[in-house]
Amino acid sequence: MNYLGKALAIAGLLVGFSAPAFAGEPESCKAVRFSDVGWTDITSTTAIASSILKGLGYQPETTVLSIPVTYASMKAKDIDVYLGDWQPSMENDRKPYLEDKSITVIGANLPVGAKYTLAVPEYTYDKGLHDFADIARFRDSLQGKLYGIEPGNNGNRLVQGLIDANKNGLKGFQVVESSEQGMLAQLQGAVARHEDMVFLAWAPHPMNVNFKIRYLAGGDDTFGPDYGKAVVYTNVRAGWAEQCPNAARFIANLKFTVELENQMMQMITGDGLDGPTAAEKYLKANPAMLEAWLAGVTAFGGQSGLPAVRKSLGL
């Protein structure tokens, strides 16, 4: 069975359970182990999921890991859930784990509105850097640098692949790796000095509001068509959904929107809140979201899930 068939089978399994059937999950299901690769959007969605799981009586744990280590840890059964599978840019990251059936894709948690590719400040775009094919002409003003995020990131590797293949004359450019926060600090400084810069950018993210940026055309073969149009999927380790069907039903129910993630990320990057505090604040302000996410889900002890979570949030 291919990964899509297996995902559909698991989805059918989850739909087939009625809520009372979830009562009595083994104690080993109480700890739900997430990976956060250090991107603010994944910090946001993981914090929301964790806040709700706590209200259900689970004990969520989050570990910050690189993308390669995330998948290796899921294969080793050290991580249960990853909410940050950006496609198509992460296709090669997850492919071997789908092929050896050590992970399962259980659905899209951000089905529309996401994108991920290279971008420039608007003033650089106005100078004529509109396309991947234009980057080499700006080599001097860019100081031969293209700014990525954390080491091991899939986007960094895609850009490095363009350089290695001398695609669009990029041979000799350097991918500058740091972190999401490091890249944004560099962008803030470049904008203040009105300097040219090419960097990895994505939506949802507050950078799209806080800075005037333009996404580059010409990256369809690398980041996907329509300026890196993306879908974000939920991955779980093989066997977890069958072992912990109630927790898995909740995770499969999670569907986010660009607006939701933008609000969460603004609270984290703009207001200085940590993920759990931002999640609690968001859920208290938007309690209606809980109904769809908790449909058919019980608390760990078997009682109805929605009242338990509302009580935990003081609603």
Which helix (H) or strand (E) covers residue 70, if one does?
Answer: helix 67-75
Rg (C-alpha) for the chain, rounded Å, is 21
pLDDT mean across residues, the chain: 93
Cβ–Cβ < 8 Å for 120, 213: yes
**Phi/psi at 236 (5° precision):** -130, 155
Q: In the predicted model, what is the mean pLDDT of residues 36-55?
A: 97
Is the model's pLDDT at 154 over the cut of 70? yes
All structural domains of the chain with their residue ranges: 3-14+24-112+230-312, 114-229
Q: The whole model's pTM is what?
A: 0.86
Look up the CATH number of domain 114-229: 3.40.190.100
Look up the CATH number of domain 3-14+24-112+230-312: 3.40.190.10
pLDDT in tens, 249-278: 999 999 999 999 999 999 999 999 999 999
Q: In the predicted model, what is the mean pLDDT of residues 51-66?
A: 97
**What are the Cα distances from residue 14, in Å, to 81, 84, 103?**
16, 21, 17
- Report d(CA 58, CA 43) in Å as an integer: 18
Q: In the predicted model, what is the mean pLDDT of residues 58-79?
A: 97
DSSP string over 256-269: --HHHHHHHHIIII
Asked if the domains 3-14+24-112+230-312 and 114-229 are classified in one and the same CATH topology, the answer is yes
Residue 202 pLDDT grade (very low, low, confident, very high; cuts 50, 70, 90): very high
